[in-house]
Structure 1
């Protein structure tokens, strides 16, 4: 997205952040994409419930994913993050991935 428009999308830097997380560098991953790093525990928990349901034949749900408030709130947060990480002045320029 950055090469086409000159703007960082909410997911820019996620691949490098995942790479750094897999190597144990949490602060480096946070530097590349803080939103992804902060969202990852919720996603891992939801995935864990799904895998447990598949293994044990249960039907538990992570009710947060079914909340309209959470879905619209997270969508709004992602849009706000997208706008803020493209502002060219401090402290918002810290949200952009390092060059």
Structure 2
């Protein structure tokens, strides 16, 4: 291997890492903003349109307050506000880490996130969560 090939490979690695590092920077910025601007105080963020129109909680209701709690290192409060979002964090970190490793190794990006069966299962979990958190016996899932 000559120096020109090695230098080009290093440049390609850095270029490949730009997208996952950009996602990490954007996520960090969101956590910093929501951590600094308390969603528990009215007037800082808009109301959930689904909640406003129907009076029912959507799967995302409580996510901003949950992120705020996580930004202040309070995972118990975060779980109480939106347990589905907190449960998704390890999976998102895994997929992001896999993306970083593939980018560092110079391997091509995969065109699919996961097997369709996993995506359908996730969709089913979200729909069941959405329904149950609005029923009397699922009130513990409400934010």
4+ long deviations beyond 3 Å: none
Give yes or no for the alignment of 1:82 onto 2:130: yes
TM-score, normalised relative to structure 2: 0.59
Q: Structure 1 CA distance, aligned partners of 2:121 and 2:130?
A: 14
Structure-1 separation of matches of 2:67 and 2:100: 21
CA offsets per residue over residues 15-42 of structure 1, 9 Å max, x none? 1111111221111000010011111100
1:1-99 matches, cutoff 5 A: 1-59=50-108, 65-87=113-135, 89-90=136-137, 92-97=138-143
- CA RMSD between the two structures: 1.8
Relative to 1, partners in 2 of residues 1:26 and 1:69: Cα closer, same or farther, differing over 3 Å?
Answer: same
- Unpaired stretches in structure 2, ≥5 consecutive residues: 1-49
Q: Decide which structure has the larger Cα Rg and report it.
A: 2
- Aligned residues of 1:49 and 1:60 also touching (Cα < 8 A): no
Normalising by structure 1, we get a TM-score of 0.83
**Aligned equivalents of 1:23 and 1:55: distance in 2?**
32
Residue-pair matches, total? 93
